[in-house]
């Protein structure tokens, strides 16, 4: 073909493609304008003629939230009124009294004062019912309403009137609000002669610095030769902090994570940019179904770079990047703009939202959707959502009565009563619920008239009876059904003894928290921690540890079946 004709052909094709692109672009813009106009006219008609008065702001907020929910769980609208909570989620910092609160019937109660902050220093206790704040009645108010009253500028004072169990008259406390910075590392310490543990609760600003300080103290001052990083139930947070934490343990220049999205200019590769503090100490990372986002970047990168052994359950599977965009009237839109990819090339994000467990974590993933990748040393790993551990440890399963004792706050209420009767207990790392205390707890639960629970067996039988009645089988086997109902009839005392081990641990944690705050509760929880025991055992066995990292020992991360947990 002559050069002139060839050039002309290319020009025609280019014009056609450009015209098609412009047509599609124009069509999309027209669809946006058309639907916005429909929305405006619909809202106008609704506001003018609906039979009852409408709340415009509430209607628009509902429509926005429903629209965003149809995309993914993480693209959210943040009105100006929620900005304080948003800042706390990213910085871990706010100004207030330093206490967790919760709703109980008509009252908001102090659930957990934080050690060293105004609520604890003033003498507020878990179980105190808030009656008034600065003379304003708080009975019947919602938890957010009370929270707003407790928060405020640092160095401002407030008065709180509370009703305390065991006290005949209300008590009044005067407090001064402080800048509350929740430490992302609530605990670190030695768990045996050679092994240090660092618990990281979230990825807020400067958390990498806290992890570094903890590690150096464990290694240089306390003699740790192995380290365990606990990321269980850590929901994530700031991406930069996750990269910095991985950088503490891998050589400078190593890729940690990359992001890829629609706007290619925003795609980015994050690498370790500084000299690490340790690249050789044996390391285990604990994860659970609640470990998400930044937790998955850290555990996934350390797994892909063969720097640590991952222990626990498959993580949540949240590998979406959110960017905050400014909107009118000081509102913001937190929207998903990209996905996370760890060094092997795996995407952390679950493949779809239809294969989720009840808690939102990754559920069953069909083999056909799973792809194989390799770690730095050639170990096989798979995508499909979340990080699959090298060593799988089943998550604890709790009975119906245990769920009820927690949900109905029966354990919480008993601990409040326990504190009134006991001025002190053994040190947190030694405390155990003895027989006398547990028997007292049983008697306490038995007299709680409003305590109710249903076993799974009872619920299944109830469903079966309903089906049998619909299909006309019930009358033919009515005696058998009634006998089975009697057999499955709940016996609170029997169940409290049957499931004592799991109930006892939760009871010990709640009691210890009242005397030794969060650190005390953590120490009690570590006493019977299966994942921690497994990690210590592995780190002591260097041949198994090295074999896992070198691919000589089969791990769950290298087993496609582990994606079917």
- Kindly give the pairing relationship between strand 283-287 and strand 226-230: parallel
Name the residues annotated as catalytic: 293, 304, 318
- Kindly give the pairing relationship between strand 391-392 and strand 309-312: parallel
Strand ranges (E), 89-184? 93-96, 99-104, 107-113, 129-133, 136-137, 157-163, 171-176, 178-181
Q: Using CA atoms, how far apart are residues 273 and 421, in angstroms rounded to an integer?
A: 55
Beta bridge partners of 322: 336
Residues 299, 231 contacting (CB under 8 angstroms): yes
Q: Using CA atoms, how far apart are residues 3 and 443, in angstroms rounded to an integer?
A: 97
276 contact partners, CB below 8 Å, separation of at least 6: 247, 248, 249, 250, 251, 252
Residues 145, 89 contacting (CB under 8 angstroms): no
Helix (H, G, I), strand (E, B) or coil at 315: coil
- 359 CB-contact burial (10 Å; exposed 0-12 / middle 13-18 / buried 19+): exposed
Distances (CA, A) of 72 to 58, 77, 85, 319, 547: 21, 12, 21, 12, 39
Helix (H, G, I), strand (E, B) or coil at 248: coil
Helix (H, G, I), strand (E, B) or coil at 64: helix
What are the b/e assignments for 332-352, b being 16+ CB within 10 Å? bbbbbbbebbbbbebbbbbbe
Helix (H, G, I), strand (E, B) or coil at 492: helix
SS3 content of the chain, % helix, strand, coil (to 5): 45, 20, 35
- End-to-end CA separation in angstroms for the chain: 61
């Amino acid at each position: 073909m002559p050069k002139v004709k060839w050039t002309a052909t290319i020009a025609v094709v280019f014009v056609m493609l450009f015209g098609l692109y412009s047509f599609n672009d124009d069509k999309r813009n027209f669809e946006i304008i058309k639907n916005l106009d429909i929305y405006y006219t619909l809202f106008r008609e609704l506001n003018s003629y609906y039979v009852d008065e409408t709340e415009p702001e509430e209607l628009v907020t509902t429509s926005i939230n429903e629209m965003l929910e149809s995309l993914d769980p993480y693209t959210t609208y943040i009105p100006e009124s929620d900005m304080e909570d948003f800042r706390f989620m990213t910085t871990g910092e706010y100004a207030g009294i330093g206490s967790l609160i919760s709703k109980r019937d008509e009252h908001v109660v102090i659930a957990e004062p934080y050690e060293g902050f105004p609520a604890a220093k003033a003498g507020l206790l878990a179980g105190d019912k808030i009656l008034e704040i600065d003379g304003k009645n708080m009975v019947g108010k919602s938890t957010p309403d009370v929270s707003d009253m407790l928060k405020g500028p640092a160095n401002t004072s407030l008065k709180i009137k509370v009703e305390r169990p065991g006290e005949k008259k209300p008590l009044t406390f005067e407090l001064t609000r402080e800048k509350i910075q929740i430490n992302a590392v609530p605990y670190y310490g030695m768990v045996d002669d050679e092994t240090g543990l660092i618990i990281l609760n979230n990825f807020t600003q400067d958390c990498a610095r806290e992890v570094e300080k903890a590690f150096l103290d464990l290694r240089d001052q306390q003699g740790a030769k192995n380290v365990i990083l606990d990321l269980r139930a850590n929901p994530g947070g700031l991406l930069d902090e996750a990269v910095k934490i991985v950088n503490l343990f891998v050589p400078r220049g190593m890729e940690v994570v990359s992001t890829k999205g629609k706007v290619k200019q925003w795609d980015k590769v994050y690498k370790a940019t500084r000299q690490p503090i340790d690249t050789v100490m044996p390391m285990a990372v604990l994860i659970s179904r609640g470990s998400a986002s930044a937790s998955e970047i850290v555990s996934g990168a350390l797994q892909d770079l063969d720097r640590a052994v991952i222990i626990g359950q498959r993580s949540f599977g949240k590998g979406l990047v959110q960017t905050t965009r400014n909107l009118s009237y000081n509102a913001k839109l937190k929207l998903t703009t990209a996905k996370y990819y760890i060094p092997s090339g795996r995407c952390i994000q679950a493949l779809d939202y239809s294969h989720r467990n009840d808690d939102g974590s990754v559920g069953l993933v069909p083999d056909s959707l799973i792809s194989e990748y390799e770690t730095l040393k050639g170990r096989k790993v798979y995508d499909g959502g979340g990080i699959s551990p090298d060593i799988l440890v089943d998550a604890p399963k709790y009975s119906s009565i245990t769920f009820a004792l927690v949900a109905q706050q029966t354990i919480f209420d008993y601990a409040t009563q326990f504190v009134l009767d006991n001025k002190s207990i053994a040190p947190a790392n030694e405390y155990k619920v003895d027989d006398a205390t547990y028997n007292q707890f049983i008697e306490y639960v038995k007299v709680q008239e409003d305590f109710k629970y249903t076993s799974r067996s009872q619920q299944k039988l109830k469903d079966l009876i309903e089906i049998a009645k619909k299909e006309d089988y019930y009358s033919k086997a009515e005696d058998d059904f009634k006998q089975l109902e009697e057999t499955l009839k709940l016996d609170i005392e029997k169940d409290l003894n049957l499931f004592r081990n799991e109930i006892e641990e939760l009871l010990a944690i709640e009691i210890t928290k009242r005397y030794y705050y969060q650190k005390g509760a953590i120490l009690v929880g570590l006493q019977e921690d299966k994942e921690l025991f497994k990690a210590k055992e592995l780190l002591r066995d260097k041949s198994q540890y090295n074999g896992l990292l070198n691919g000589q020992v089969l791990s769950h991360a290298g087993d496609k079946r582990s994606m079917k947990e």
